[in-house]
C-alpha cells in the first residue's frame, strides 16, 4: 500500500481507533534451509451446517438436472486437480522449463478479514458469502477489498499520474528472475532497518551483478509477525509504525544503476513504517518499476536462481491489486 507517511496528510476522526487484528494464517511452507546473512552492524537504519433454503424458493427438475450434471463435472475436475496437486505435494517439486526439477514456494499471505492493514489509509477486507449451494445452486462470495491489502502489487500509476495502471502492465514483467536480499538479523535489532546500497553490493560480491530485469525482494523476517496481534504494524504510543523497508538511496540505486523490474518487502510498505515521506515509492514507481508488499516466506526462497511468477489481477484502471506470488526454485 502507499506509505504510512501519507497518514500525516490524512485527518483522522477522534472516534477511529486501530482494529484488533490477528493476522492471517500462512500456509505451511516447503522445508528449505534458511539463508539469513549475518550482516555487519550498521547505523542505517499473517463443514459449516447447510443453510436452509429461503422460504418460497424452489428449484425445478430441469434446474436440478443441470446442477447435478455440473456437480458431477465439478467432482471429476476437483478429483483431477486434486490428483495433480497431491502428486506435486508428494514430490515437492515439478519439472521446470529447463527440464530440471523445481519446487514451487508460495510467497503469499492468506487474506482474511483480520489481516493487518494500515488502518488509517485502508479499510479492513470484508468477505461475505451471498450465494449458497443448497439455495442458489452454487456458492459465491462478495468481496470488499482495497487494492492495497494483503500480498499486493503497486504499479507505476499508484504514484505517478498518467503512468501505466494494472491492466497495462506487461505480462513479461511478471515472470522474472528473483533476487532475495536478507536483512533479518539487523531488523531483529532495529525495527526501522531498511535495505541499503551496502546490502545490495554485499549481495553482488557473493553472487555477481543483479540479473537484468530481475525483481529484488527484501527478507526482513517480518512476515512471521502477521499472526501476532499488533506486532506486524508495530505501532508506538505516538501512532508511528515501526517496520522495515527499502531506503530511498537503495531505491535510487536500483533505478539508476541496475536494470530491475521492481522491488518488494515482507512488510506493509516499501518505505518502512516510520518514513516521514514516501520517497521509496516516489523513486521506484514513477520510474516505471512496480513494488510488492506483504510478501511471505522469503526464507524458503534462495538468495538467487529462482524465478518469480506474479499472478496479478487485470482490472481496468487499477493502481494495485492482490496477487499470488510464487517462486520457482
> Could you tell me which residues come within 8 angstroms of residue 100 by beta carbon, excluding any fewer than 6 positions away?
none
Is the pLDDT score of 324 beyond 50?
A: yes
142 in helix, strand or coil?
Answer: strand
Question: 14-69, pLDDT tens digit by residue?
Answer: 434 444 333 333 333 443 444 444 444 444 443 443 334 444 444 444 443 344 44
pLDDT at residue 1, rounded to an integer: 54
Query: Cell triple for residue 152?
Result: 499486493
pLDDT at residue 252, rounded to an integer: 98
pTM, 2 dp: 0.73
Angle between the N-to-C axes of helices 197-207 and 248-256, in degrees from 0 to 180, rounded to the nearest 10: 50
Mean predicted confidence (pLDDT) in 93-121: 82
What distance in Å separates the CA atoms of residue 197 and residue 195, rounded to the nearest whole number?
Answer: 7
Question: 128-152, pLDDT tens digit by residue?
Answer: 999 999 999 999 999 999 999 999 9
Output phi, psi for 311, to 5 deg.
-85, 90
Band the pLDDT of 2: cuts 50, 70, 90.
low
Q: Indicate the burial class of 45 (C-beta count within 10 angstroms; 0-12, 13-18, 19 or more).
A: middle
Is the pLDDT score of 184 beyond 60?
A: yes
Q: Sign of the CA dihedral 25, 175, 121, 250? A: positive
Query: Cell triple for residue 108?
Result: 503469499
pLDDT at residue 16, rounded to an integer: 40
Amino acid at each position: 500500500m502507499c506509505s504510512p507517511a501519507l497518514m500525516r496528510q490524512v485527518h483522522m476522526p477522534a472516534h477511529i481507533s486501530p482494529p484488533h487484528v490477528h493476522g492471517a494464517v500462512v500456509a505451511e511452507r516447503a522445508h528449505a534451509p534458511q539463508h539469513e546473512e549475518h550482516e555487519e552492524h550498521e547505523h542505517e537504519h499473517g463443514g459449516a451446517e447447510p443453510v436452509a433454503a429461503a422460504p418460497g424458493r424452489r428449484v425445478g427438475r430441469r434446474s436440478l438436472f443441470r446442477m447435478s450434471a455440473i456437480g458431477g463435472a465439478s467432482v471429476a475436475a476437483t478429483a483431477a486437480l486434486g490428483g495433480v496437486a497431491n502428486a506435486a505435494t508428494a514430490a515437492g517439486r515439478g519439472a521446470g522449463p529447463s527440464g530440471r526439477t523445481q519446487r514451487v514456494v508460495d510467497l503469499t499471505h492468506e487474506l482474511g478479514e483480520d489481516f493487518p492493514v494500515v488502518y488509517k489509509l485502508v479499510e479492513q477486507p470484508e468477505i461475505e458469502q451471498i450465494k449458497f449451494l443448497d439455495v442458489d445452486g452454487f456458492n459465491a462470495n462478495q468481496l470488499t477489498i482495497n487494492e492495497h491489502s494483503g500480498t499486493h502489487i503497486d504499479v507505476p500509476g499508484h504514484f505517478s499520474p498518467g503512468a501505466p495502471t494494472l491492466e497495462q502492465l506487461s505480462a513479461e514483467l511478471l515472470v522474472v528472475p528473483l533476487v532475495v536480499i536478507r536483512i533479518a538479523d539487523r531488523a531483529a535489532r532495529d525495527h526501522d532497518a531498511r535495505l541499503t546500497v551496502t546490502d545490495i553490493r554485499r549481495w553482488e560480491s557473493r553472487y555477481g551483478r543483479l540479473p537484468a530485469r530481475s525483481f529484488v525482494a527484501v527478507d526482513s523476517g517480518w512476515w512471521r509477525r502477521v499472526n501476532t496481534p499488533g506486532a506486524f504494524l508495530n505501532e508506538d504510543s505516538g501512532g508511528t509504525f515501526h517496520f522495515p523497508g527499502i531506503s530511498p538511496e537503495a531505491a535510487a540505486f536500483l533505478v539508476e544503476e541496475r536494470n530491475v523490474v521492481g522491488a518488494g518487502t515482507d512488510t506493509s510498505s516499501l518505505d518502512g513504517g516510520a518514513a516521514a515521506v514516501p520517497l521509496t515509492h516516489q523513486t521506484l514507481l514513477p520510474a516505471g518499476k512496480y513494488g510488492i508488499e506483504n510478501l511471505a516466506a522469503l526464507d524458503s526462497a534462495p538468495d538467487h536462481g529462482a524465478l518469480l511468477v506474479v499472478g496479478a489481477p487485470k482490472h481496468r484502471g487499477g493502481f494495485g491489486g492482490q496477487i499470488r506470488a510464487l517462486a520457482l526454485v
